[in-house]
Structure 1
Amino acid sequence: MCGRFALYSPYPKLSQALRLPLEPGELRPRYNVAPGTWITAVGHPSDDAPLVMGEVWWGYRPHWTNDKAPEPINATVEKVATSNYFRGAFAHHRCLVPADGWYEWLPVDGKKQPHFLCREDREPIWLAGIWSERPDGKPGCAILTEPARGVAAEIHSRMPLALDDESLEPWLDPHLTDRETIRQVVHHLPAELIIHWPVSTRVNRSANDDASLIQFC
């Protein structure tokens, strides 16, 4: 799954990695991004609107539901294209969530040891997401997850769907709506690029947010 991540790369680096026209901006480094907060995402507000980087609420609840409807933070790749709850957003409202890495917890001797997972080259990771206007009129998103691959499987059975560089543009294309076509042109990041190491249990408390959280311990 994906329930906590870090984003500290500066805006120019993210813009360059996307190879897409984005206006200059500033991002506050965050080392402990938790669900139920505003997070950075990239997408098209509508089919004909230009690509923008902005904030969305990490919690998906479509506008056609009510305040008592589920608010998942993740959507599985196995069901996102067919579930009544997600399929409209998968077809028309896909987005990318930039991250420098994510956290996962490994059970060890009856306790859970957090690990930080990132690219070996420390480049930003682009997580596939979907978004929808929420009942309150604001955008909310869920990050897609897939079965864990490579060393990520040592920590947890699932991982966020990280995309390779060539998949970023088609994933964001609002005119690309067919499920099978999307599956053919969008590919996940090669598993061999991912590494991990144990970090402090301070990350368990979302109020802790500093660079020491990602240091080896």
Structure 2
Amino acid sequence: MCGRFALFTPLERLAAQVGASVPDSNLRPRYNVAPGTWIAVMYQASENEQPIIDEMWWGYRPRWAKSTGSQPINARVETVATNAYFKSAFSKHRCLIPADGWYEWIKDSKPKQPHYICRKDREPLFFAGLFAERDDGSMGCAIVTEPGRGRAAEVHDRMPLILDDDSLKHWLAPDITDRETIRSLVRHINANLVEHWAVSTAVNKPAEGQGEELINPA
């Protein structure tokens, strides 16, 4: 799964990688992004429009589910194209969620021991995501996950679906709606690019810890 991440690369640099525009935003560097908050998301509204970076609520719930519907933060890549809750978004409303790294916890550790997972070269990551309009009119999103690979699997059996650079524009393209076409055009990054290390348990309480020291080795 992916339930916490960090984003501190300037939005302008991220936008340049996909030719996106950056509207005025109050988004600032964050080292402990938690679900149920506003996060930076890249999406393309139509084939003829430029991708943009905007804020979305990290919690996916399509309008038709109304306020009583579940609000998942992740969607499994194995079923996202066929699951009734996600399949429309997979076809028409895909997005990218930029991050510099994410956190996972060693199973059964006491206290819960977080690890920070990122690229060895410290380049930013682009998580595959889905979005939908919520019943209150805002946009909500979920991060697509896949089975853990490479060193990330040492910490958790799931990880975000991280797209390689050549896949970014294809994933955003609203005119590409066919499931098999999407699968043929989109690739995840090489698992050998990723590493991890133990960090402070201050990560466990996002309300108390947001500084850059959170990603330092414990």
Structure 2-normalised TM-score? 0.95
Matched ranges for 1:130-141 at <5 A: 130-141=130-141
Q: Per-residue deviation at 1:145?
A: 0.3
Against the structure 1 CA distance between its residues 101 and 152, is the aligned structure 2 distance closer, same or farther, given a 3 Å change threshold?
A: same
Which amino acid in structure 2 is aligned with residue 107 of structure 1? K
Where in structure 1 are there 5+ consecutive unaligned residues? none
Q: Per-residue deviation at 1:41?
A: 0.2
Q: In the TM superposition, what whole-angstrom CA distance separates every residue of 1:54-73 from its partner, at most 9, and x where no partner exists? A: 00000000011111110000
Q: Per-residue deviation at 1:51?
A: 1.2
Against the structure 1 CA distance between its residues 49 and 137, is the aligned structure 2 distance closer, same or farther, given a 3 Å change threshold?
A: farther
Q: Per-residue deviation at 1:50?
A: 2.8
Q: What SS does structure 2 have at the residue aligned with 1:181?
A: helix
Q: Per-residue deviation at 1:98?
A: 0.2
**2:60 matched residue in structure 1:** 60
CA distance in 1, matches of 2:74, 2:33: 14
Matched ranges for 1:137-152 at <5 A: 137-152=137-152
Q: In the TM superposition, what whole-angstrom CA distance separates every residue of 1:30-59 from its partner, at most 9, and x where no partner exists? A: 000000000000002345443110000000
Against the structure 1 CA distance between its residues 179 and 114, is the aligned structure 2 distance closer, same or farther, given a 3 Å change threshold?
A: same
Contact 1:11 1:24 in 2 (8 A): no
Contact 1:11 1:25 in 2 (8 A): no
Against the structure 1 CA distance between its residues 81 and 109, is the aligned structure 2 distance closer, same or farther, given a 3 Å change threshold?
A: closer
Where in structure 2 are there 5+ consecutive unaligned residues? none
**1:45 matched residue in structure 2:** 45
Q: In the TM superposition, what whole-angstrom CA distance separates every residue of 1:122-154 from its partner, at most 9, and x where no partner exists? A: 010000000000000110000000000000000
CA distance in 2, matches of 1:110, 1:205: 15
Q: What SS does structure 2 have at the residue aligned with 1:15?
A: helix
Against the structure 1 CA distance between its residues 201 and 169, is the aligned structure 2 distance closer, same or farther, given a 3 Å change threshold?
A: same
**2:165 matched residue in structure 1:** 165
Which amino acid in structure 2 is aligned with residue 152 of structure 1? A
CA distance in 2, matches of 1:152, 1:39: 23
CA distance in 2, matches of 1:182, 1:132: 19
**2:96 matched residue in structure 1:** 96
**2:21 matched residue in structure 1:** 22
**2:81 matched residue in structure 1:** 81
CA distance in 2, matches of 1:58, 1:15: 20
Contact 1:6 1:30 in 2 (8 A): yes
Which amino acid in structure 1 is aligned with residue 8 of structure 2? Y
Contact 2:22 2:54 in 1 (8 A): no
Query: What is the percent sequence identity of the aligned residues?
Result: 55
Contact 1:37 1:58 in 2 (8 A): yes
Q: Per-residue deviation at 1:192?
A: 0.3
Is 1:123 aligned with 2:161? no
Q: What SS does structure 2 have at the residue aligned with 1:64?
A: helix
Q: Per-residue deviation at 1:113?
A: 1.0
Q: Per-residue deviation at 1:13?
A: 1.8
CA distance in 2, matches of 1:36, 1:52: 21
